[in-house]
Amino acid sequence: MKKYTEIKDISNLQETIKDAISLKNNPFEFEDLGKHKTLVMLFFNASLRTRLSTEKAAKNLGMEVMILNVNDAWNLEFEDGTIMNANTSEHIKEAAQVISQYADVIAIRAFPSLTDKLKDESEFVMNSFVKYASVPIVNMESATAHPLQALADAITITELSKKAKPKVVLSWAPHPKALPQAVANSFVEMMQNMDVNLTITHPKGYELSKAITKNTPINHNQEDALKDADFVYVKNWSSYNDYGKVLSQDESWMMTKTKLGNAKFMHCLPVRRNVVVEDAVLDGEQSVVIQQANNRTFAAQIVLKQVLEKL
């Protein structure tokens, strides 16, 4: 693997999931693969799971890890040919090349603005690093995608599924703040590559990009969509069409134990209790969110392993 900025970078998904589960059973099997190799992790935004699980994954492979909270460094300029006489002090052209001298792999977290759709969709942060860095880039959640989360979700469903083709429902939930579409986008793309029966449910106005959903069924009636579900993935996202806006905080979309039925409950975390999902679900036996978070390590580890093997 030359980079992991999007799900398409995985050449064989089923094999990758199988190998990730094998790593989970034997996490130190390749502890020498990353010897004398360094992962530099750049955070433009906050993180708990991504930061710790990716560091753990790298260390399981014997890598050194360096972490930079980018807001503690010089303000980066991403525009070409700009006159840098305002707030930015360092251009991505130099920064990416310099960091590449300290790193064998660079992992980046950079959320969208949710105000400038075209700029966010250009993935200018991730793509600038891909363009100017001389080492592989790993996406730890970008403006439009969270492929490491989606791989962890695919591993979790594979581990827990009791059926050949489980019914998986992605359900929007209310949230007081405007959140990115990245997790939902990557989950949909990942499920489209799995042998599952995927349905999306959300209030009108919360349609994800058509380029993502393609022919996946969308049902605006949550109760109807949830019928006979095996896995229910709950996530808030802000409007894509009315870009970045919170159009509804309709509490009736919160996930409850009654609505969940017999399905497993999934969420990428962090989650707001009794806003997105009621306590009874998170504290109940059908919640698999802790297992999902654990699988973040093995998603990151299989990705780093495949990247290291191509260095």
Ligand-binding annotation for 49, yes or no, is: yes
Judged by CB under 6 A, the residue of 68, 70, 218, 269 near ligand CP is: 269
Q: Is 48 in the site for ligand CP (CB under 6 A)?
A: yes
Ligand-binding annotation for 51, yes or no, is: no
Smallest distance, ligand CP to C-beta of residue 171, A? 17
CA 305 from chain centre, in angstroms, equals: 18
Q: Is 264 in the site for ligand CP (CB under 6 A)?
A: no
Q: Is 222 in the site for ligand CP (CB under 6 A)?
A: no
Smallest distance, ligand CP to C-beta of residue 191, A? 17
User: Looking at 209-217, 245-253, 258-266, 268-276, which segment touches ligand CP (CB under 6 A)?
Assistant: 268-276
- In the complex with ligand CP, which residue's Cβ is closer, 149 or 301? 149
Which residues pair with residue 197 across a beta bridge?
Answer: 167
Ligand-binding annotation for 50, yes or no, is: yes
Judged by CB under 6 A, the residue of 268, 281, 299, 302 near ligand CP is: 268
Cα angle for residues 181, 186, 189 (degrees, 5° grid): 125
Q: Is 287 in the site for ligand CP (CB under 6 A)?
A: no
Token pair 């989650």 in the structure block, residue:
271
User: Looking at 58-66, 192-200, 240-248, 265-273, which segment touches ligand CP (CB under 6 A)?
Assistant: 265-273
- In the complex with ligand CP, which residue's Cβ is closer, 13 or 269? 269
Positions 140 through 159 that interact with ligand CP (CB under 6 A): 141, 149
Q: Is 67 in the site for ligand CP (CB under 6 A)?
A: no
Q: Which residues are annotated as a binding site for carbamoyl phosphate?
A: 47-50, 74, 109, 146-149, 268-269, 296
Q: Which residues bind ligand CP (CB under 6 A)?
A: 47-50, 141, 149, 268-270
Q: Which residues are annotated as a binding site for N(2)-succinyl-L-ornithine?
A: 141, 175, 235, 272
